[in-house]
Structure 1
Amino acid sequence: MQKFLINKEALSADKAAIHGQDAKHICKVLRLKPQDTISMTDGHGNDYTGCIDKASFECVEISILSEKKSLTESNLDLTLCTAMLKHNKMDGIIKQITQLGVTRWIPFYCKRSIPLSGQKKEQKQIERWQTIARESLKQCRRSCLVDIMPPMDFEQVLLFSKACSHKFAFWEASERPLTGVLPKENNKAVVLIGPEGGFEEEEIRLAVESGFISYSLGPRILRAETAAVSACGLIQYLLGDMGGR
């Protein structure tokens, strides 16, 4: 059953409401009606099962039957930092990392990244990325939205990473393979992926000085978006909930 995202403002102790396109989808596509059950999440790790009371294209009113903590969220607090790429490539990354259980995503600027021109354009992109994250959450039945953070510069990303126990910088010039990584008491990890053309050596040097370890993703050169998704899957396998531990 598809999981729907509900706003906390539309949720009370025993009632919920779904509006807009989701309400239309429930009625027109899924053809759900009163007395049918529906699965929901608040996007903050709580899941709900409800019974539809009233259904229209504008609003679906629901009685809450049960509430529980999600079982689909990783034990790993995983942050992915990707250098800015063309917009459609960034859209694809968000879809994939939502499925992989990433906690937050930080786009950033470095010497070879693609710039966004102007604050209005940047805000518009952030809103678009948040919409993609919401839609992806419903598809893969997660219960926590990926935290889409505003674009940072490279130095800000390194500063953010100070609180993380595991710091991975994937770089095509590295010869270090990604082998068994032992979990630490603070199970927070950050993954650094460069732009098309890769990081400059000076950027990797600064990352290493900030506690990152430079790793390889194998003998082939990967596209930046492929590297981002592959790296997150590997880290979830080693440290998270995808079967490696």
Structure 2
Amino acid sequence: MRISRVYLDAVLTAHQEVRLPLETAHYLLHVLRLKVGESLIVFNGLNWDYHATLIHADKKMAMLQLHEGYFVTNESPLETVLVQALARPEHMDYSLQKATELGVTRIVPVITARSPPVDNARRDKRQGHWLRIVASACEQCGRAYLPRLDELQPLDAGLRSVQTDLSLVLDPSAENYLTDFNEIKVKSVAVLIGAEGGLASEELAMATQMNYKKVRLGTRILRTETASSATLTLCQWLWGDWQPLKRI
């Protein structure tokens, strides 16, 4: 039976007792139906997992007893940065979830010409929702490192904030395929993905001026959430921790 993993935004040390936030307690007790005395794993996004036991649960609170911690070593050697244009909520959620599962190091949400209108009154709520998506993906896939999630920002500011060995922007009309760069030795890659409808010509020009290389994946045009997953998958295959697949 697989043991449950839960993200806690808290300082964690071995052998301490931890009081769970109400939302986390509700999830453990009423969704996972965890009982007092049962075990789980908790992490706080800093590469450590801790074995834990549920030691108390009532209508007001739930408590965990932490045991030994251990360093988790399943991070890719490739640093990947996803510069993702703001898209429709369901597509944005999918992109963040799958990027996390694929080992992304940092996510930079940006506003582009074809992004949906931005409701400034909901910025904090949306940021919290995205963080929960990322944390939940880490719980599921076994990562103990929480990718950095930047605040939503204009495209030019997002592009300027990223410094990597290789920067790529998807463009269906590009002459080069992503795999044309497979002989380059890199330790970090940034990927710029447009929203529904792609990037405007002015935005592509801005990216190329900032040394982003235009690449295509194939002969078909992918949805924004498919494009981000496909590109990050290829990056992990070319330069990351999916190298054994090359022998198949």
The normalised TM-score by structure 1 is 0.87
Aligned position for 1:242: 242
For the aligned residues, what is the CA RMSD? Answer: 2.1
* CA spacing shift, 1:76–1:60, aligned 2, 3 Å: farther
2:78 to 58, 73, 76: 76
Q: Is the 8 A contact 2:14 2:69 kept in 1?
A: no
The 4+ residue runs of structure 1 with deviation greater than 6 A are none
Aligned position for 2:112: 110
Aligned position for 2:202: 202
How far is the alpha carbon of 1:241 from its aligned partner?
A: 1.7
Aligned residues: 240
Q: Is the 8 A contact 2:16 2:67 kept in 1?
A: no
Q: Is the 8 A contact 2:14 2:50 kept in 1?
A: no
> Percent identity over the alignment?
27
* CA spacing shift, 1:34–1:195, aligned 2, 3 Å: closer
* CA spacing shift, 1:56–1:166, aligned 2, 3 Å: farther
Alignment of 1:175-194 (within 5 A): 175-179=175-179, 180-184=182-186, 187-194=187-194
Amino acid at match of 1:225: E
* CA spacing shift, 1:169–1:48, aligned 2, 3 Å: same
Tell me the alpha carbon deviations over residues 141-166 of structure 1, each in whole angstroms, 9 at most, x when there is no partner.
221223221122121122112x2111
Unaligned segments of structure 1, at least 5 residues = none
Does 2:137 correspond to 1:136? yes
Amino acid at match of 1:73: E
Q: Secondary structure at the match of 1:52?
A: strand
Does 2:103 correspond to 1:101? yes
Does 2:46 correspond to 1:44? yes
Aligned position for 1:32: 34
Q: Secondary structure at the match of 2:178?
A: coil
Q: Secondary structure at the match of 1:96?
A: helix
Query: 1:35, 1:48 → 2: CA distance?
Result: 16
Q: Secondary structure at the match of 1:144?
A: coil
Amino acid at match of 1:175: E
* CA spacing shift, 1:198–1:116, aligned 2, 3 Å: same
* CA spacing shift, 1:30–1:83, aligned 2, 3 Å: closer
Q: Secondary structure at the match of 1:207?
A: helix
* CA spacing shift, 1:26–1:206, aligned 2, 3 Å: closer
Residue range with higher mean Cα deviation, 39-48 or 15-24: 15-24
Q: Is the 8 A contact 2:14 2:67 kept in 1?
A: no
Aligned position for 1:152: 153
Q: Is the 8 A contact 1:23 1:57 kept in 2?
A: no
Residue range with higher mean Cα deviation, 142-151 or 212-221: 142-151
Residue range with higher mean Cα deviation, 22-31 or 82-91: 22-31
Q: Is the 8 A contact 1:172 1:198 kept in 2?
A: no
Query: 2:60, 2:87 → 1: CA distance?
Result: 37
Query: 1:95, 1:206 → 2: CA distance?
Result: 27
Aligned position for 1:125: 126
How far is the alpha carbon of 1:13 from its aligned partner?
A: 4.2
Query: 1:68, 1:82 → 2: CA distance?
Result: 32
How far is the alpha carbon of 1:12 from its aligned partner?
A: 4.1
Q: Is the 8 A contact 1:171 1:194 kept in 2?
A: no
Does 2:91 correspond to 1:89? yes
Aligned position for 2:215: 215
* CA spacing shift, 1:16–1:77, aligned 2, 3 Å: farther
Amino acid at match of 1:143: A
